[in-house]
Amino acid sequence: MSNYYLQEARAAVPGLAGIMAAHAAVQDELKRPHRADWQPHPEVMAQAKEALRFGTEVAPDLGARLLAAERGQAEMDARRGALRQFSEEFQYEWDQAEQGNADLMLSALKPYLAALLDETERALSLMGAARTAEAVIEGGPVALGAWADLLSTAANYTDLRSTQWAITRSAWTHYEPSRPFTNKDVGVHLGLCTIEALWNPNGNTPPPWPTEGHNPRAFPKSDREFLLWAVEHREHVWLPTVTECVEESHRFIEVTNRTPMALEPSVIRKQDNARNLQRANGGAGLPR
């Protein structure tokens, strides 16, 4: 996967650019055709055989040419073997650098989420009450321009979330070796914080955001609709580091397992207000 946000996340990891450049150089070298300055062994043999067929003497340098062919082939094989090993080692260093610095990479993406949320709020203010393409057209050129901006913002939001998802999934076992990464337990925490304040997964009601189908665990119907819903309702949309996501998913499981299904989300939200305030203040007082 390669996009602007992934490049920005990787730029936050010290030394990663050098590893990536070295890996790319090795790949280029492996793809480059090798021009041998020696005659291949089968070709030398074929020429000597044809010479004998027509009564010509065996070339006095046949042995030297065959040895040169064997030595040249061996050198080329050794060189390519070394390049393949370099490629594997640089790829390993690359993977380790990203997995070990996933929190750093994801932290670098947080300002981009904030900017996209601001863009969404600005577009909504210009669109007025219009929320469909038809209503936007009726709203005039200002609303139409804001709608176009919103579509662009939603596309960027999709790229950002895809990058976040890939980084988190790749590094998950590095941070949480005891529990696998699953959509059910983890995916929902990649976009919303303190989600149980909005929805109790042990109940029978669907989540409050627009979803596809009737699955109570369904993901948002589309990034555009989720952005509209989240910004309009001023929900705690976030982009957690892997450490934050692990912590939040553990807390989510603990809270929802001990929360009666009849407990109102507003009550749970009240319980989490102090925690949200601590997060806003940089995490002071949060358990480590």
DSSP H helices, 35-140, are 41-53, 62-100, 102-127, 133-138
d(CA 141, CA 159): 27
* 3-class state of residue 53 by DSSP: helix
Q: What is the DSSP letter of 195?
A: G
pTM of the model: 0.74
Domain boundaries, the chain: 4-99, 104-280
**pLDDT for position 226:** 82
Strand partners, 220: 211
d(CA 153, CA 223): 10
- Of 5-9, 38-42, 235-239, least confident by mean pLDDT is 38-42
Residues 132-159 have pLDDT tens digits of: 888 988 889 999 999 999 999 999 999 9
d(CA 53, CA 37): 27
Angle at CA of residue 167, ends 161 and 172, nearest 5°? 120
Q: Which of 66, 72, 85, 75 is nearest to 26 (CA)?
A: 85
**pLDDT for position 12:** 97
Query: 201 is written with which tokens?
Result: 């997964």
- Return all residues near 239 (Cβ < 8 A) that are at least 6 apart: 106, 109, 110, 113, 160, 164, 190
Question: Is residue 229 within 8 Å of residue 209, measured between CB atoms?
Answer: yes
162 versus 109: which is more confidently predicted?
A: 109
**pLDDT for position 88:** 97
Residue 177 — pLDDT band, cuts 50, 70, 90?
Answer: confident
**pLDDT for position 210:** 73
Q: Which of 202, 256, 260, 39 is nearest to 272 (CA)?
A: 256
**pLDDT for position 265:** 47
| DSSP, residue by residue, 219-273 | PBS-HHHHHHHHHHTT--B----HHHHHHHHHHHHHHHHHS-TTS-HHHHHHHHH
* 3-class state of residue 120 by DSSP: helix
d(CA 195, CA 119): 23
- Of 13-22, 123-132, 241-250, least confident by mean pLDDT is 241-250
Query: 258 is written with which tokens?
Result: 């001990």
Average pLDDT over residues 14-25: 97
Angle between the 102-127 and 4-11 helix axes, to the nearest 10 degrees?
A: 140
Q: Which of 121, 94, 91 is nearest to 6 (CA)?
A: 94
* 3-class state of residue 211 by DSSP: strand
